Amino acid sequence: MHVQGETTVPTNITMFGMSGGKWNLIEIPQSILDLSPTGQLAALPELMHRYLRKYNDACPFFGMVTGFRFVRLIDYFQFGADGVLVGQVDKPFRRGVASISFA
């Protein structure tokens, strides 16, 4: 699940990349992925609330949380910052990539 913050570009992109670039992601346990789509949508807000508690309503490197996206192959479900389902968006979502190399 993708966490949306106030900014779309990390405030310190170098440190974000060096740290693995996954601060704005929530790993979804297999037990939730095994549920029906309706069951998944019902279970996801608890993951969002845990994330918000862990980071004090902020997304490291991206500012305060503004929403969440449950990304699938060709669409995604948009949730508000409070974990309430806003709706389904019928287009793909691809997150940006950050990488660092030392020569």
Q: Mean pLDDT for each consecutive 10-residue tract of the chain (103 residues)?
A: 89 75 90 95 97 95 94 94 96 74 70
Amino acid 17: pLDDT: 72
Amino acid 98: pLDDT: 62
Asked if the structure places residue 57 within a domain, the reply is yes
Asked if the structure places residue 65 within a domain, the reply is yes
Amino acid 34: pLDDT: 96
**Cα–Cα distance measured from residue 32 to residue 22, given in angstroms and rounded to the nearest whole number:** 20
Asked if the structure places residue 101 within a domain, the reply is no
Asked if the structure places residue 96 within a domain, the reply is no
Q: Rounded to 5, what percent of the chain is helix, strand, coil?
A: 25, 25, 50
Amino acid 15: pLDDT: 75
Asked if the structure places residue 97 within a domain, the reply is no
> How many structural domains does the chain have?
1
Asked if the structure places residue 75 within a domain, the reply is yes
Asked if the structure places residue 77 within a domain, the reply is yes
Give yes or no for a contact between 71 and 93, defined as CB atoms under 8 angstroms apart: yes
**Domain residues for 17?**
2-89
The helix/strand/coil state of 74 is coil
**Cα–Cα distance measured from residue 23 to residue 3, given in angstroms and rounded to the nearest whole number:** 8
Q: Which of 44, 81, 45 is nearest to 64 (CA)?
A: 81
Amino acid 100: pLDDT: 64
Place of tokens 């807000």: 45
